[in-house]
Amino acid sequence: MLRLHKDKKNEKEREQKKEAVVKEQQEEAEEELSVLSKKGKGAVKKIITDVDATVKEAAKESLKQLRLLEEGRCPECGRKTKQFLFTSICPYCGWSSFISPQQKGRMTVHLKDGTTLQCDSTFDTQKGNILCIRDDVVRMKVPSTNISYIEFGWTEEEVAERRKQKEMEETAICDWCGKTAHRAEMLVTFCAFGTYQERYLFCSPKCMLSFQNQYPMRIHRDCYHRRCQECDECIKKYYDTSSKKILSVEEVAKET
């Protein structure tokens, strides 16, 4: 979501930058256009059609990439990306999306000679250069070969805030009714049908109760009534229950 926001903002910025570039090139283009006009209207028309086709093709490609990103997939190879707090990375083809810290001057480019460059954001030109941007101005173009590493200066507060935000964004599927819900708001239950403890998520107390009623006898390890941390019966354990609500059948019955 954050990325999409950024893309929109970038689009605006690009619009503005485009104007300056366009003005510069306009004179030149007009000259060429007048030469072409002499050759006939057909030549000009053909160029306009070509441009339209290119723009259309690019728009189609952007839309496709957007959809893939929304599905948590790599816009380049279409496979599942790995989600980190501020970044998505494709472990298959190496594609990545980086978000720079919002506050200024937090990107530190460490050069191989030991010196550092401070900027708001960096941009990889994909042509062997990194652009250092400060106050919306490209201040430096640094050959990637001179760079040792680039440091992202996130504060602990930013990390904590993003973690919270991400948890709210994350969705999961209810193991009973199949509905999608925010993961942070779902109820969780652990149970072992075999020797492996599994985690089940539910969108509502009703769904969890239905599940537990459906499978009461088959859970021989009494997973519904004890916390995973306190149990040695199962091979697989879950410790990450801090943010999730664990309710027993009795508690659920009381709530509904």
Residues of this chain that interact with Zn ion (CB under 5 A) are: 74, 76-77, 90, 92-93, 95, 174, 176-177, 179, 203, 207, 221, 231, 233-234
8 A C-beta contact, residue 187 and residue 201: yes
Largest Cα–Cα distance in the chain? 88
8 A C-beta contact, residue 248 and residue 224: yes
- The minimum distance between CB 96 and Zn ion, in angstroms, equals 9
Pairing of strands 245-246, 187-192: parallel
- The minimum distance between CB 211 and Zn ion, in angstroms, equals 9
- The minimum distance between CB 153 and Zn ion, in angstroms, equals 27
Only one residue has tokens 């007048």, namely 34
Tell me how many degrees the CA angle 120-125-126 measures, rounded to the nearest 5.
135
In this structure, what DSSP letter does residue 52 have? H
Which residue, 92 or 98, has its beta carbon nearer to Zn ion?
Answer: 92
Which residue, 92 or 154, has its beta carbon nearer to Zn ion?
Answer: 92
- Cβ neighbors of 163 (< 8 A, separation 6 or more) are 85
Which residue, 134 or 237, has its beta carbon nearer to Zn ion?
Answer: 237
- The minimum distance between CB 205 and Zn ion, in angstroms, equals 10
**Backbone angles phi and psi of 71, in degrees to 5:** -85, 5
- The minimum distance between CB 240 and Zn ion, in angstroms, equals 15
Cα 98 versus chain centre, distance: 9
Alpha carbons 232 and 17: distance in angstroms, whole number: 62
- The minimum distance between CB 167 and Zn ion, in angstroms, equals 19
If DSSP codes are grouped into helix, strand and coil, which group holds residue 200?
strand
Which residue, 53 or 93, has its beta carbon nearer to Zn ion?
Answer: 93
Only one residue has tokens 């004179």, namely 27
Helices within the chain (DSSP H only): 2-39, 41-70, 156-169, 205-214, 249-255
Which residue, 120 or 175, has its beta carbon nearer to Zn ion?
Answer: 175
- The minimum distance between CB 212 and Zn ion, in angstroms, equals 13
Which residue, 95 or 123, has its beta carbon nearer to Zn ion?
Answer: 95
Alpha carbons 183 and 172: distance in angstroms, whole number: 5
